[in-house]
Amino acid sequence: MDSSIKIMSDEELQGINSALEGGDLCAAIEKLSESLKDLENVPLNIAITGESGTGKSTFVNAIRGMSDEEIGSAKTGVVETTKLPTPYIHLQYPNVTVWDLPGIGTPNFAADGYLKSVDFSRYDFFIILSSERFKKNDIDLAKAIHAMDKKFYFVRSKVDSDLHASMIRRKKTFNEENILNEIRNNCIQSLKDGGITECKVFLLSFLELNKFDFDEMRNTLEKDLPEQKRNIFLLSLPNISLPVLEKKRQALRKEIWKWAIISSALATVPIPGLSIYCDVDILVNAMISYQKSFGLDQNSIEKLADKFGKCVSELRSVIKSPIVLQEINRELIITLLTRRTTGGLMIVEYVRIIPLLGGLVAGGVSFGIIYQMLSGFLKEIAEDAVRILMKALESPH
């Protein structure tokens, strides 16, 4: 087959085939809609624990892409006396909740009792923070979490402070990598001493979450999560690193065929001037979800500018695509569909090889054009998100 028309991956083709296999279009559509809704419905609960003052509340804010001063952020820097787990719901993905758990660390701390009191079963995984070596309480807690068949990850927080202190105290011999290795080895040793032999420790600064081991931690969590939750986790991450943006693009790309099948199968409206039918409202939803995930609304750009000390206009100036900041509505979609007509026909040739599709979906032509339009939109939006982030990360001249 001509590789120039190999636009869809084999995985996508398999997905389409198995979705439409039984020949029952209604059932297939229902299943695909459910799977798309899962991204907004399936709960993901992340527990943040550790001793008092290790940065739990700061991490809760950072991982939700919030500053410590925003309305709805967790209170930081003060000794919190709450004995209850506090849920912080993700602003864009309300199915994602980050739980600020009560500090561990009273001398007679009992890990079992603690886990029961925080209702351990509701969390998908635990992150145990320490701003020093890991201590007995951290280790006891990790073992108890493991015994309850849940996952935990160790994070060493505040490494920016260690680096800063070393820079002042050891000016001549300062070497960032050596210091980070020292911290890492020291933490791993403290865990080994406590009987935890096989374990990674992620070094982070919650003041600059994009640095140090953030991408490695993201990778690990992503691998450990089941597929459905993995995508939810990825999409909910703050847009602070290029790998995060790339992962989001990949996650969203895999879902395009589902939107395209649903939209073309439920088509009631002929698109004026085109020989295709599609359900435009479904496409509005899909495209709004892309914009939301890449943080390309005004509010998110303002937050990004604030975080990296840039002006909003500076960040906006690198946007190339005329559609990125537009309001997504039916008119925009019809314009985009019109633009994609030629490319769409090309993919139809390819799609026709899939048994069933041509016969089931009201016009393989519609499917092809919608698929192309969504792919093009996602590409443009993802590329602009990268440009904006690169601008934000640029060091001041």
Q: Which span (75-83, 167-175, 279-287, 388-396) binds ligand GTP, by CB under 6 A?
A: 75-83
Q: Are 223 and 177 in contact, with CB atoms under 8 Å apart?
A: no
Examine residue 205 and tell whether it contacts ligand GTP (CB under 6 A).
yes
Q: Does 218 bind ligand GTP (CB under 6 A)?
A: no
Instruction: Give the residue carrying structure tokens 């005004």.
Output: 298
Residue 300: both structure tokens together: 């998110």
Of the residues 57, 137, 293, 372, which one makes contact with ligand GTP according to CB under 6 A: 57
> Which residue is at the shortest CB distance from Mg ion?
57
Rounded least distance, CB 183 to Mg ion, Å: 22
The span of 9-17, 36-44, 204-212, 347-355 binding ligand GTP (CB under 6 A) equals 204-212
- 330: how many CB neighbours lie within 10 A of its CB? 12
Nearest CA-CA partner of 189 in 178, 181, 197: 197
List, in sequence order, the alpha helices (H) in the chain: 10-20, 25-41, 56-63, 111-117, 136-147, 159-169, 176-193, 214-224, 227-236, 242-253, 256-265, 280-293, 298-307, 312-316, 330-339, 341-351, 357-360, 364-393
- Tell me the three state secondary structure of residue 164: helix
Q: Which residues, numbered 119-148, are part of the site for ligand GTP (CB under 6 A)?
A: none
Residues numbered 1 to 60 that lie near Mg ion (CB under 5 A) are 56-57
238 binds ligand GTP (CB under 6 A): no
Region near Mg ion per CB under 5 A, out of 79-87, 183-191, 331-339, 347-355: 79-87
Are 257 and 16 contacting, i.e. CB atoms less than 8 angstroms apart? yes
| Near ligand GTP in 87-106, by CB under 6 A | 103
Asked if 80 touches ligand GTP (CB under 6 A), the answer is yes
Contact (Cβ atoms closer than 8 angstroms) between residue 243 and residue 221 = no
Site string for Mg ion, 54-73 (x = CB under 5 A): --xx----------------
Binding partner selected for residue 38 from Mg ion, ligand GTP, none, CB under the kind-specific 5 to 8 Å limit = none
DSSP 37-68: HHHHHS-EEEEEEEBTTSSHHHHHHHHTT--T
Residue whose CB is less far from ligand GTP, 52 or 228: 52
- Stretch of 1-9, 17-25, 85-93, 155-163 lying at the interface with ligand GTP (CB under 6 A): 155-163
- Asked if 308 is part of the footprint of ligand GTP (rule: CB under 6 A), the reply reads no
Return the one option of ligand GTP, Mg ion, none that residue 65 interacts with (CB less than 5 to 8 A, by type).
none
- Judge contact between 385 and 243, C-beta under 8 A: no
Angle between helices 10-20 and 256-265 (to 10 degrees): 40
Task: Examine residue 158 and tell whether it contacts ligand GTP (CB under 6 A).
Answer: yes
Cα dihedral 233, 235, 238, 239 in deg (nearest 10):
140
Name residues whose C-beta falls within 8 Å of residue 177's C-beta, 6 or more positions apart in sequence: none
Nearer to Mg ion, 35 or 117 (CB): 117
Q: Please, what's the largest Cα pairwise distance for the chain?
A: 74
Q: Check residue 80 for interaction with Mg ion (CB under 5 A).
A: yes
- 26 counts as binding ligand GTP under rule CB under 6 A: no
CB-closest chain residue to ligand GTP: 55
- Binding partner selected for residue 79 from ligand GTP, Mg ion, none, CB under the kind-specific 5 to 8 Å limit: ligand GTP
Q: In this chain, which stretch among 199-207, 225-233, 255-263, 330-338 interacts with ligand GTP, using CB under 6 A?
A: 199-207
Q: Whole-number minimum distance, CB 211 to ligand GTP, in Å?
A: 10
Least distance in angstroms from the C-beta of 258 to Mg ion? 40
Is 360 within 8 Å of 32 (Cβ atoms)? no
Residue listed under structure tokens 């089931």: 360
- Binds ligand GTP (CB under 6 A): choice among 157, 231, 239, 366: 157
**Which residues of the shown chain bind ligand GTP in the complex (CB under 6 A)?**
52-58, 76-77, 79-80, 103, 157-158, 160-161, 205-207
**Which residues of the shown chain bind Mg ion in the complex (CB under 5 A)?**
56-57, 80
